[in-house]
Amino acid sequence: MRLSSVQSLFSSITFRIGATLLIVIIIAELIAGLIWYQSNASKEVDNLKKTMESLMSNAADTYNYFHALPVNYRYLILNQIREMGGTRFFISINQRLLPTTPLIENSRTDILLSTASQMLHQKIRKTNQIHVALSKRQDLRVFNSGIKLDALPEIWASYSLALGDMDLPIVVMQVQMSDNEWFYLAATLPVPFSTLSPQFIDQKQLIFLGISSLLLVLCTVWLLRQEIRPIRRLAKAATLMGGQLYVEEVEEEGSLEAKAAVRAFNKMNRRVRSYIRDREMLFGAISHDLKTPLACLKLRTEMLDDEQAKARFEKILDEFDLMLKGALQCIRDTDIHEEPEWIDITQMLEQCASYYNRNEHTVTFSADTPMLYLGKPLAIKRCLYNIVDNAVKYGERVDISMQSTEIDIQIQFRDYGPGLDKKWAEKVFEPYFRVNPQDELGSGLGLTISRSIARSHGGDLTLHNHPEQGLVVDIRLTSDT
């Protein structure tokens, strides 16, 4: 049952349109993101290069300034800078090249380092070696001991590198001044880390995409439910009409297309009602107008003196009377005036078996549990009794078996008669048809009526020969009626 519910959900127009709309939104967002990413990537790279060039130009000027000072004045100036408080650069002169923990390399960090190296080589001409790296503040090591910046006294750590409290990349420049002197300069790069390693779609964009897609899909589903409501009512009315023909007219609402469909259905419904009413009047007139002269003919036949002529007339009149009753019975049994109600099919078949077993045991049926079905009780009873009656007449005895699924109830009648030639398998359902024209056991309308009733309940009635002996009649009644 759950599998069928899931399949129904996937097959619904609401799910299909909602899923399609969601996929279209995601694809559109991805395309828009790709266009935005490609158009802004080059601009961001140019801005990064200009920022790095400006920063390294100032750093090179600072190095040239210190390099021009006498050696004794260099350390004096460094102490004065530290006592001043916050500066843009952290500067020291070390005796060796300090190791740095670089950032994860990508295309943008490579471009920045290449730009920095080129600018420094342009500005600083008299030097042996230049090392440039990008690092994080927490990984930054300073002075000859290689101590981390955050491990320095608070007055140095807090006021070193202006904007240092922000999580920004650090550019570390180390230039060899002499054999035992390395000029060390660290500066904050005023760009966020996300700019150095951009993502095609970041977390904020994903959240925005999810919320916007969800709201749009929910609004679309709500709108679809409003538009589909008249279609569902129309489908329900059409389903009920297939079983009882008389249904209330559906209210015209929704879009123009839905209103047009509902209007056409209501028009058809009125025509069917008119047809049923005219048919009832026609057969009522036939029943009244033909039975009266038929009774007169029977009375006149009784007054005939010629016994042979009297017998022939009586036989013809009896056949005519049987055909008339059969036609009227067919109309009464297939005309849909009953309201559907819950029927215990098991109990109905047990009563049928008891009825035909009153004189001798001819019907075999056993069932453990009740089998409930929503249908028209008199019509279903007529259908089942017709099949059993035929099986008893032509097959002497009948075995009845029944099983149910989630969507239908299947009843099988197996008799032990001579069976049926395949060429008559569909012909026997035609009104008044008899395999043996001389057969006087019935009117030839039983199977016609039974199949009509089964089909009016959304099912069908079929015949096939049993492999061993006899004929098998299968009746299927759907649970959607």
**What angle in degrees, to the nearest 10, is found between the helix axes of 203-244 and 13-68?**
180
State the average pLDDT over residues 349-364.
89
State the average pLDDT over residues 219-228.
77
Of the two residues 160 and 363, the one the predictor is more confident about is: 363
Confidence bin at 334 (pLDDT 50/70/90)? low
Most confident stretch, 67-81, 295-309, 439-453: 67-81
Confirm if 334 and 380 have CB atoms less than 8 A apart.
Answer: no
Confirm if 393 and 444 have CB atoms less than 8 A apart.
Answer: no
Average pLDDT, the chain: 78
- What is the C-alpha separation between 75 and 69, in angstroms, rounded? 10
CA dihedral for 5, 10, 13, 14, sign (positive or negative): positive
Tokens of 139: 């990984």
Confirm if 173 and 47 have CB atoms less than 8 A apart.
Answer: no
State the average pLDDT over residues 345-351.
90
Whose tokens are 């993101």? That residue is 33
pLDDT at 46: 83
Closest to 103 measured CA to CA, from 132, 135, 131: 135
> Under the phi-then-psi rule, with left for phi > 0, alpha for psi from -120 to 50, and beta for the rest, what region is 202?
beta
Three-state DSSP at 22 gives helix
pLDDT at 475: 92
Cα-atom radius of gyration of the chain, to the nearest Å?
Answer: 48
pLDDT 10s digits, 230-266: 878 877 777 777 656 667 778 887 777 778 888 888 8
pLDDT at 107: 77
* 338-478 maps to CATH 3.30.565.10: yes
> Under the phi-then-psi rule, with left for phi > 0, alpha for psi from -120 to 50, and beta for the rest, what region is 434?
beta
Confidence bin at 214 (pLDDT 50/70/90)? confident
pLDDT at 273 over 80: no
pLDDT at 208: 75
pLDDT at 8: 59
Measured torsion, CA atoms of residues 249, 254, 255, 261, in degrees rounded to the nearest 10: -20
Tokens of 170: 């650090």
pLDDT 10s digits, 393-452: 888 889 999 988 878 889 999 999 888 888 877 888 877 677 665 555 556 677 888 888
pLDDT at 99: 87
pLDDT at 193 over 80: no
State the average pLDDT over residues 218-237.
78
List CB contacts of 178: < 8 A, sequence separation 6 or more.
Answer: none
pLDDT at 1 over 50: no
First to last CA, the chain: 18
> pLDDT above 70 covers what percent of the chain?
76
pLDDT at 12: 66
Helix %, strand %, coil % of the chain (to 5): 60, 15, 25
Measured torsion, CA atoms of residues 312, 315, 321, 326, in degrees rounded to the nearest 10: -140
pLDDT at 244: 60
pLDDT at 481: 44
Closest to 112 measured CA to CA, from 198, 49, 201: 49
pLDDT at 224: 76
Of the two residues 308 and 353, the one the predictor is more confident about is: 353
pLDDT 10s digits, 121-174: 888 866 668 889 888 878 888 888 888 877 777 656 555 665 545 678 888 888
Confidence bin at 116 (pLDDT 50/70/90)? confident
pLDDT at 337 over 60: no
Long-range contacts of 314-323 (CB under 8 A, 24+ apart): 320/294, 321/294, 322/443, 323/432, 323/443
Confidence bin at 336 (pLDDT 50/70/90)? very low
pLDDT at 137: 79
Confirm if 83 and 206 have CB atoms less than 8 A apart.
Answer: no
Of the two residues 140 and 203, the one the predictor is more confident about is: 140
